[in-house]
Structure 1
Amino acid sequence: MFWSTFNKLQLSPDLLRPYTGCLYGFTDNPVEVRGYLELRTTFTDGAASRTENIRYLVVNANSAYNILLGRPALNRLRAVSSTRHMKMKLPDLSGKGEQEEVIAVISRHLDAFAWTAADMPGIDPDFLCHHLTMDAKVHPVRQRRRKFNEERRLVVKEETQKLLNAGHIREIQYPEWLANVVCRPVPGR
């Protein structure tokens, strides 16, 4: 925010917090920084509005602009700016239109989503499989086999059976045990 804008807003200089960093203009000249402050700023498109806390660095410099919004504020607003058109496009500020649009797309294309491993039959294993690149000079380390409690053992068995039924994995026998299964709870389940 430029000092002239700060004065036009009739804000008290007591609101400014000290800023210890250095700021340089386009010509490598130092710019006098008066301090910074956070202001609740409302963005509106006429129909909907959104209010955000924006941190403004107040500088004493001449400019044709009132305020320059930095990347953190633009990213939070998900704004798209065009210097060529001297415009800034904001998404639906309420967020409702975007949510409704996403729900509509998902609803129209429910058959395109795989909700379980069984929903993906016939996928080429070369596309699906993960291959580990191993150095031939390095020998695998055999881990000590861990035993799971009954609850985790049932979860491992159930998830493994789902993958077997879908045809995504197959049982093979290794002469040595190489690694233990790692159980992680999925949020919301």
Structure 2
Amino acid sequence: MVDDGSAVVVMYPDLYKGLGLKPEDLAPYSSPLMSFDGKLVVPNGMIRLPIQIGPETVEVNFIVVDMYSPYIAIVGRPWLHALEAVAFLLHQKVKFLSGDQEKEELIEFLKRNIDVFAWDACDAPGIDPSFICHHLNVNLSIIPKKQPPWRPSREHADVIREEVMKLKWAGAIKEVFYPEWLANTVVVKKKSGK
């Protein structure tokens, strides 16, 4: 199954056994995964295997889990990025760029239509926030921990204030108060140097 929301490539027991892999073939991997039903799953390990799609062969890290699934594997973003592919889940298709000419045509198409892209929340005022909002998958039974507040440097405070004003102006965020929970703002420099 192709899941473009998955940050890992998962291998289930049927494929693991079908390939004749043994426990000693696995490298350690101790980071737990979240299953579709919200339970934590501790992987058996990780193995790097080549995957061939048409003329392209890429090596992908599979996280091996020992649990039932109707699928033999779930390939996610790492696999899609390695193959420079795009998944169309509605149509159950995966599109690959087949060569340099197709890549050049795609780049030219994107350049001709650059005006349709919103590079910042301010470029898309009036868009319903529920359409563009990210929601955290949190366990509501765990009490959040309030972090001790710290003051950012003057330079960071100016950048934070400017970014918050842009997002508020676009209607992407609104002011809310969480007396039980506070996370300090972390400023990260963009590739553009901003």
- Shorter-chain TM-score: which interval? 0.3 to 0.5
The normalised TM-score by structure 2 is 0.45
The normalised TM-score by structure 1 is 0.46
Structure with the greater relative contact order (CA < 8 A, sep ≥ 6): 1 or 2?
2
